[in-house]
Amino acid sequence: MILLECSKWKGGMENLALIRLTPPPTHPSFKGTAIMDRKKTSNQHGHLNRRSFLEAAGRLAGGGLAVGATFEMMRPGSARGQQPAKETLASSARVLDRLKTRFSFQISVDVGTLDLGLTVATAALAGGVDIVEMGTPLLKTQGVANVVPAFRKRFPDALLLADMKTMDGGAGEARSVYTGGGNIFDFLALAGVDTAKSICAVRDEFRRAGSELPRLVFSDIMVPHQGPAAQAGEVALRMVEAGVDAIGIHLQSDARHANPKLIEEDYLGDVVRAVFERIGKAALVQVVGGLSIAQAKSLAKAGLRCFVISGNMGLPDGNARYNLPPAEIQRLVATFIAGVSGA
């Protein structure tokens, strides 16, 4: 596997230094990372017979990618009741384009303490992940105002996603994440269109106030609760029309533990393929839910490019492995990435 060294600022966003290829680190260390290009960057498996709609939402700016090493500590004016703006500023557009067309991997840091969360994230970044998810258990037990700034300070160049599972009060929660330095706000599609629009309006304010730092909104469709496939597709379409940047198809943890057949019968894969067919040209589709390497490889062959590595680290038993030594977490993450990227 080939990783790319983080790009550095040189005279502003329009004059990025060239990126040079470097081998992946051999031990858990982190020196700052943006989304890293993969050895296989084409979308050659992604040309499905998908219906074309909302083409304008899918036309994103191309080019290089850089994630700023600073973030603004500001509070733009209230966004309550506003419609989401149509513009997508350059840094956010480049992130979206990269996520849609190249393999990207997110680590789900679903732990209970800040120290363990930072340790797991450091190991996963050394293993090659592109996005660090500050998981819901971590955010709830340690607090958004503590976790997000701490992760931004430790990882100044990483893409940080806050898995908030917001159901209401979206504008205020989005503001707290973006103010702390988060890049991606993730909420539940079950919250509905009004909440989606309020979150997107705050995103757009922060984009305008500091366009150098990507600001995105992801919406998670929880299955089987919001399934089957046809219903999930309708929910995804409503979220895209409300302005979100990406749709996550999330196989609920409680459901998959209560009914292991959901994994065995590839329920998640069936829903993901249907949603990807429905809105894949208009928005990024991400998949999460205790994925094994085999499941992720199958979805990669169907055109999916954005995967979340859960606590099982790609192994099929579903057991969380956050307490493993950092070197072992790094190895498992690197193995997942190499296996899926080569699909």
CA angle 89, 95, 101 (to 5 degrees): 125
| Residue 213 CA neighbour count, 13 Å, CB half | 25
Backbone angles phi, psi at 160, to 5 degrees: -110, 125
pLDDT of residue 261: 82
Residue ranges for the chain with pLDDT beneath 50: 1-86
Q: What tokens appear for 260 in the block? A: 């292991």
pLDDT of residue 317: 87
pLDDT of residue 211: 76
pLDDT of residue 88: 56
Give the whole-angstrom CA distance, residue 184 versus residue 130: 12
pLDDT of residue 50: 33
pLDDT of residue 20: 33
Q: Which residue has the tokens 């557009």?
A: 93
CB 93 within 8 A of CB 277: no
